């Protein structure tokens, strides 16, 4: 359904706010056009996209935090509807930060500690807590949780979680989690982006997994979960008036992604990283043996979707247990690889 180039008559103009990914770039540049749609792209940072769309619905199509979107749906907010396109996927073992001389040396040491989270409902944090609970055996009640800004004080929750009984969560507004970790007032930080001291090379702050890839590969082999961070959503008023846009956009995102994969899977890839071609082939053998690299759609991502929705409910991010059919436009639920 996607069109290449500029053929076809324009029928609908939709502004889409997206991060700068290679696998959406052909859609942004117009090299791929959804059938019947002209995409007017906005390239912004994820945090700004999420806040402005969730708060003001400023545009018609938007990248969204997967955790934030699930919370909205569970709370009965039907102002947006997603399609199963997942522009950001990241394993999160590398997102646990500790003090170099602190009491946490291995994952099991997280039990009984004070742990800072940028937001309780942050998608990356949801996955890490799910790993702690199901792979390490640390319950939510085994930790004293602290919510606050990672590198600057004052960050607040975007959702209102329904915390399970016995969960202790304190909000700190006058200090950053980084300052608290370095002072010894918390023992670890869970966050999506590296804290400022770590980025600056402060030797006092390190990752729990300095080399996270072996642990992440083992996690994938055990669970089949490749964490989905973000999803593409359509403003509901647009979708209700033009139900066909869900499939049109899905196929265009799929084509843009496939073009990107073809580029990086070709010797002499445009990615300026040594051995990038060999690394992409290694990842494909481990994670995508059927040839569908970075798959979209529900069926190809069932293990990840089911795990994440269970984590959300267990952690009080969603007030009810959601199913994939609750999240995505009905037209996209049964799509298979073309």
pLDDT tens track for 252-278: 999 999 999 998 888 877 778 888 888
* Sequence-ordered strand ranges (E) for 7-76: 12-18, 32-33, 37-43, 61-65
- Identify the pLDDT of residue 264: 87
- Identify the pLDDT of residue 338: 47
The closest alpha carbon to 34, from 236, 251, 243, belongs to: 251
Answer yes or no: are the C-beta atoms of 197 and 129 closer than 8 Å: no
> Residue 300 has what DSSP assignment?
G
- Identify the pLDDT of residue 7: 44
- Identify the pLDDT of residue 336: 59
Which CATH number does the domain 93-223 belong to among 2.40.50.140, 3.10.510.20, 3.40.190.10, 3.40.50.1820?
Answer: 3.40.190.10
pLDDT of 288-303, one tens digit each?
988 889 999 999 999 9
Q: In which residue ranges of the chain is CATH 3.40.190.10 found?
A: 3-89+228-332, 93-223
Is 3-89+228-332 CATH 3.40.190.10? yes
- Identify the pLDDT of residue 8: 45
- Identify the pLDDT of residue 3: 57
Residue 166 Ramachandran class (φ > 0 left, ψ -120 to 50 alpha, else beta): left
- Identify the pLDDT of residue 10: 54
Ranges of residues in the chain with a pLDDT under 50 are: 4-8, 338
| H or E element that contains 83 | strand 80-83
pTM, two decimal places: 0.94
């Amino acid at each position: 359904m996607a069109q290449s180039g500029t053929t076809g008559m324009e029928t609908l103009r939709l502004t889409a706010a997206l991060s700068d990914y290679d696998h959406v770039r052909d859609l942004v540049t117009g090299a791929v056009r959804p059938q019947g749609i002209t995409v007017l792209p906005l390239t912004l940072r994820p945090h700004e996209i999420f806040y402005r769309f969730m708060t003001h619905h400023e545009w018609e199509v938007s990248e969204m935090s997967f955790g934030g979107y699930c919370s909205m749906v569970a709370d009965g907010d039907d102002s947006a509807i997603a399609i199963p396109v997942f522009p950001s996927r990241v394993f999160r073992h590398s997102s646990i930060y500790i003090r170099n001389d602190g009491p946490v040396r291995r994952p099991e040491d997280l039990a009984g500690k004070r742990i800072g989270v940028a937001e309780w409902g942050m998608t990356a944090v949801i996955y890490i807590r799910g790993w702690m609970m199901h792979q390490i055996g640390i319950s939510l009640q085994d930790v004293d949780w602290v919510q606050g800004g990672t590198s600057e004080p004052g960050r607040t929750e975007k959702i209102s979680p329904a915390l399970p009984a016995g969960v202790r969560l304190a909000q700190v507004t006058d200090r950053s989690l980084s300052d608290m970790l370095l002072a010894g007032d918390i023992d670890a930080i869970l966050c999506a982006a590296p804290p400022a001291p770590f980025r600056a090379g402060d030797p006092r702050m390190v990752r729990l997994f300095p080399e996270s890839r072996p642990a992440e590969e083992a996690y994938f082999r055990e669970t089949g979960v490749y964490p989905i961070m973000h999803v593409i959503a359509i403003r509901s008023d647009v979708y209700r008036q033009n139900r066909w846009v869900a499939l049109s956009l899905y196929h265009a995102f799929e084509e843009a992604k496939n073009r990107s994969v073809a580029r990086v899977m070709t010797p002499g890839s445009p990615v300026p990283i040594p051995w990038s071609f060999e690394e992409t082939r290694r990842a494909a053998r481990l994670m995508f043996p059927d040839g569908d690299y970075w798959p979209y759609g529900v069926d190809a991502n069932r293990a990840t979707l089911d795990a994440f929705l269970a984590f959300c409910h267990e952690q009080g991010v969603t007030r009810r247990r959601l199913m994939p059919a609750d999240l995505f436009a009905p037209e996209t639920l049964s799509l298979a690889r073309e």
